[in-house]
Structure 1
Amino acid sequence: GRILIVDDDRGMCQLLIDLLGEDGYETDVAYDGQAALDKYRTTRFDLTITDLMMPKMRGIELVQRLREIDSGALVLLITAFGTIESAVEAMRAGAFHYITKPFHNDEILIQAKRAIEQKTLQEELKRLRTEVQARNRFQNIIGQSAAMQRVFEIVAQVSDLPANILIEGESGTGKELIARAIHSSSSRVSGPFIPVNCAAIPETLLESELFGYVRGAFTDARRDRPGLFREASGGMLFLDEISEMPLTLQTKLLRVLEDKEVRPLGANQSEKVDTRVLSASNRNLDELVRNGKFRQDLYYRLNVIRIELPALRQRSEDIPLLVRYFIEKFAAGAKRNVEGIQDDALAALKSYDWPGNIRELEHTVERAVLLGKGTLVGAEDLPTNLMARGESAIVLAQAFAKQFTLYDLEREYIGKVLESTKGNKTEAARILGVDRTTLYRKLEEYKFKD
């Protein structure tokens, strides 16, 4: 464990450093309350041991201010004989325990051990709560495939780490949903989550949008604007399509990430921000860095932890779940009685490669629900381009459901291909992989009408 010792008596500090060091603790020292607060803001401590009576700042005030920084801060007070009432007051302010002078060395070691054990329990409880929150949050993200389960595991593991996170994936794979899940599963959940699409805001406006400005910074700056970094302080800022950020602005973003300070346009001083940054890209940032279109140093800053989202074609086993969800969603919204999807239509959806991923699937199902006439979404409700790609899957689904013979299966498949080509026999022969003579012979054999 790591312990901060606070006392204006340097001899007492050295005694505690030696005592705790021999028992295996790592220690740091501050000789007044303000120095202790400064150290606590930049370093994680499991326990603070402080004298009650110190110049500049008394131990009671230090307890209160430490717990403002960290509500779980554990503080052990050392008080001279005769100041028990003050010690009790400090306990009410949130101190972990107190020891009176003169003390036995064992008393310090026993209380230090108790505090470290309590800190460990607090962190374990926090971790378990985070996991529960993550599971609850993931109930709104549909995916039972192994690929998505790995994503969920990573999110649960990293949501409360202070590191920046880069989410990569094709358009429509749900990068913002994952970013929101990270926020909802973290200790910053009570703080804001602010998404910004870097590609949707003109370069001339993006800087002031992110970093803010002061009145008079430019012609239309009639009042101060804090900027999204400061608005997201205490929470998370999600920079979507970060690959589209201009190089000039990338330099300024890097400075904010390194210094954790923002200087609004027109301001003379920077301001501290406590904002965790999540970013996302549908392009390969490694390649952009190699081509000189994205700053390498910024890439390393953003890419401390990377989450790669699979394309929908890589998790086709999730398509039935997604389809069911979208049917229920759009049927309820349109007050339509649509109960599910036919096997051949689902087979077509599963065989399609979905270049637009979940977003394209959602729009496809919405269209089918709104324009369909039956209680089940059928193949006729799906777009023709999707059906043309999915003919083989549809025929196989129907064949399996109806227990077709090979004769029936070939006949059905040829019929579906002809239907998809609108009777164009040359195109049908090409899709079937036969010449026109063979196709005509099959049409005669299966008694197809012209």
Structure 2
Amino acid sequence: MDVTDIRSGKILVIDDDEDVLRAARLLLKRHMSLVHTEKEPKRLASLMEKEKYDVILLDMNFARDVSSGQEGFDWLDRILEIDSAAVVILITAYGDVEMAVQAIKAGAFDFVQKPWQNEKLLATISAGMKLRWSQVKVESLKSREKQLYADLDQKFQDFIGDSAAMHQVFSTIRKVAKTDANVLILGENGTGKELVAREIHRQSSRSDEAFISVDMGAIPETLFESELFGHLRGAFTDARENRAGRFEMASGGTLFLDEIGNLHLPLQAKLLAALQNRMVTRVGSNTPMPIDIRLICATNMQIHEMVGENRFRQDLLYRINTVEIELPPLREHTEDIHLLVSHFLDIYCRKYKKATKRIQASTLKRLEKYNWPGNVRELRHAVERAVIMSDSDTLGPEDFFLPDSKTTRDGVALDTYNLGEVEEKVIRAVLIKHQGNVSHAAKELGLTRTSLYRRMQKHGL
């Protein structure tokens, strides 16, 4: 057999027979980097504290209990108390199938009889070491994955507010996070929908598992199934390797489907089937795979109105909105602006290594009067720019490039001449004016409903 894969391994052999220990030492030292032999099992704990062994060979029958193997089972329990992932191979002169089964059920990796066959013993040790190394690799990958998720999650730690509206949101999050109920988050762009989704995940029983975010508006229709359900190698032209979909990646954790209102009807049916069956089938496969996810969806569109207009499936809406959380636009809780500005100032002064800055009362009043069509995201960017550009320790009105009240009408801030941005702001303002009624908004804008929907989709409204 090829034993080169165990040369870097470390093994501990425990047996009260000196001849057995000598034979093990002579055999194993030629194949492994470290071989410790020990006659007294009471030294197990101190030996395991000093060294991390890949495999432990443990005699089942010590002098106190020559034939039943019970003492070996007792020491096996002690080893697994110290290291639950320890790979233990039990050895005995009185082996039988029943004892082997009991040993494996008790947590042993395998079972060998003495006198052993050298090749068989080496093969068993090699298999045990591969298991140990795979366990170590998995733990390392889990630690790295957890750190990566923590790093990604760091930029979503700004979900704060002290207004009554935000306290209501916080209360709902606390209640729903403890369950696995599906959640639909509604709100304009920039109100913090992903922040809410991540906060629900952080407070849930799934917080140690993956949080997978998918922008549904960014996935081409032709790649929908591949992205969400995965694919097998060769399933289509560019499928060069097997790939897990987002549902598989999120299994055990939380799947966040952002901008779900942008999903076309045929794709809605496929999504509904996966949610109802809690199974997905990779493209190119005929084998369904079970999934275990907590689903959170979000949209900035008037999704209930879309159901009435047959643009969103009602059965899918029922499936995704067990609980709805509606986020207020910043203009409806301006009392939180001071708190948010202070928070963002602290973040960006540290990020750009600037002296601590404060904000003038007159500046704060101006910020509170502004309409904030981009909501908290726009406020955050405004503070960041002010921190970068200002040389003063106190930020004044001139440090914030906001449109003057004379240049606004019905909440439309014409601080740019870019036609695309102007169109988006005008459409948004008219929709707000008519409380989301698309028919009335289209009439005021001089558009057909179809044309307005097309522009709304273009701008993600």
Whether 1:189 and 2:207 are equivalent positions in the alignment is yes
Corresponding residue of 1:236: 254
Shift of 1:287: 1.0
Corresponding residue of 2:195: 177
Q: How does 1:28-177 map to 2 (within 5 A)?
A: 140-177=158-195
**5+ long unaligned stretches in structure 1:** 1-88, 94-136, 391-450
| Residues in 2 aligned to 1:361 and 1:384: alpha-carbon distance in whole angstroms | 10
The equivalent position to 1:269 in structure 2, one of 277, 287, 290, is: 287
| Residues in 2 aligned to 1:223 and 1:166: alpha-carbon distance in whole angstroms | 34
The equivalent position to 1:281 in structure 2, one of 296, 299, 307, is: 299
SS at match of 2:269: helix
Q: Which amino acid aligns with 1:381?
A: D
Q: For residues 144 and 335 of structure 1, do their structure 2 counterparts lie closer, same or farther at Cα, with a shift above 3 Å needed? A: same
Corresponding residue of 2:382: 364
Moved over 3 A (4+): 137-140, 386-390
Q: For residues 248 and 139 of structure 1, do their structure 2 counterparts lie closer, same or farther at Cα, with a shift above 3 Å needed? A: closer
TM-score by length of 1: 0.55
Shift of 1:201: 2.1
Shift of 1:207: 2.1
Q: For residues 240 and 225 of structure 1, do their structure 2 counterparts lie closer, same or farther at Cα, with a shift above 3 Å needed? A: same
**5+ long unaligned stretches in structure 2:** 1-101, 107-154, 409-461
| Residues in 1 aligned to 2:404 and 2:347: alpha-carbon distance in whole angstroms | 22
Q: Which amino acid aligns with 1:192?
A: A
SS at match of 1:329: helix
Q: For residues 183 and 192 of structure 1, do their structure 2 counterparts lie closer, same or farther at Cα, with a shift above 3 Å needed? A: same
Q: Which amino acid aligns with 1:337?
A: A
Shift of 1:365: 0.9
SS at match of 1:330: helix
Whether 1:307 and 2:325 are equivalent positions in the alignment is yes
Corresponding residue of 2:271: 253
| Residues in 2 aligned to 1:293 and 1:346: alpha-carbon distance in whole angstroms | 42
- Tell me, yes or no, if the aligned pair for 1:262 and 1:272 is still in contact at 8 Å: yes
Q: Which amino acid aligns with 1:214?
A: L
- Tell me, yes or no, if the aligned pair for 1:338 and 1:377 is still in contact at 8 Å: no
SS at match of 1:237: strand
Shift of 1:217: 1.1
| Residues in 2 aligned to 1:302 and 1:164: alpha-carbon distance in whole angstroms | 5
Shift of 1:279: 0.2
Q: Considering only aligned residues, what root-mean-square deviation do their CA atoms show, in Å?
A: 2.1
The equivalent position to 1:380 in structure 2, one of 379, 392, 398, is: 398
The C-alpha deviation readout for 1:410-430, integer Å capped at 9, x for no partner, is xxxxxxxxxxxxxxxxxxxxx
Whether 1:342 and 2:360 are equivalent positions in the alignment is yes
| Residues in 2 aligned to 1:154 and 1:138: alpha-carbon distance in whole angstroms | 18
| Residues in 2 aligned to 1:201 and 1:289: alpha-carbon distance in whole angstroms | 22
| Residues in 1 aligned to 2:208 and 2:392: alpha-carbon distance in whole angstroms | 45
TM-score by length of 2: 0.54
Aligned residues: 257
| Residues in 1 aligned to 2:380 and 2:211: alpha-carbon distance in whole angstroms | 25
Q: For residues 386 and 238 of structure 1, do their structure 2 counterparts lie closer, same or farther at Cα, with a shift above 3 Å needed? A: farther
Corresponding residue of 2:335: 317
Q: For residues 308 and 384 of structure 1, do their structure 2 counterparts lie closer, same or farther at Cα, with a shift above 3 Å needed? A: closer
Shift of 1:335: 1.4
- Tell me, yes or no, if the aligned pair for 2:156 and 2:198 is still in contact at 8 Å: no
Corresponding residue of 1:290: 308
| Residues in 1 aligned to 2:169 and 2:304: alpha-carbon distance in whole angstroms | 21
Shift of 1:388: 5.2
Q: Which amino acid aligns with 1:321?
A: L
SS at match of 1:152: helix
Q: Which amino acid aligns with 1:327?
A: L
| Residues in 2 aligned to 1:289 and 1:389: alpha-carbon distance in whole angstroms | 37
Q: Which amino acid aligns with 2:173?
A: V
The equivalent position to 1:220 in structure 2, one of 229, 238, 242, is: 238
SS at match of 1:167: strand
Q: For residues 384 and 213 of structure 1, do their structure 2 counterparts lie closer, same or farther at Cα, with a shift above 3 Å needed? A: closer
Shift of 1:372: 1.4
- Tell me, yes or no, if the aligned pair for 2:229 and 2:280 is still in contact at 8 Å: yes
Shift of 1:245: 1.3
Corresponding residue of 1:116: none
| Residues in 2 aligned to 1:155 and 1:386: alpha-carbon distance in whole angstroms | 37
- Tell me, yes or no, if the aligned pair for 2:213 and 2:255 is still in contact at 8 Å: yes
| Residues in 2 aligned to 1:151 and 1:336: alpha-carbon distance in whole angstroms | 33
Shift of 1:149: 0.6
Q: For residues 140 and 381 of structure 1, do their structure 2 counterparts lie closer, same or farther at Cα, with a shift above 3 Å needed? A: closer
Q: For residues 288 and 177 of structure 1, do their structure 2 counterparts lie closer, same or farther at Cα, with a shift above 3 Å needed? A: same
SS at match of 2:244: coil
Deviates more, 1:356-365 or 1:290-299: 290-299
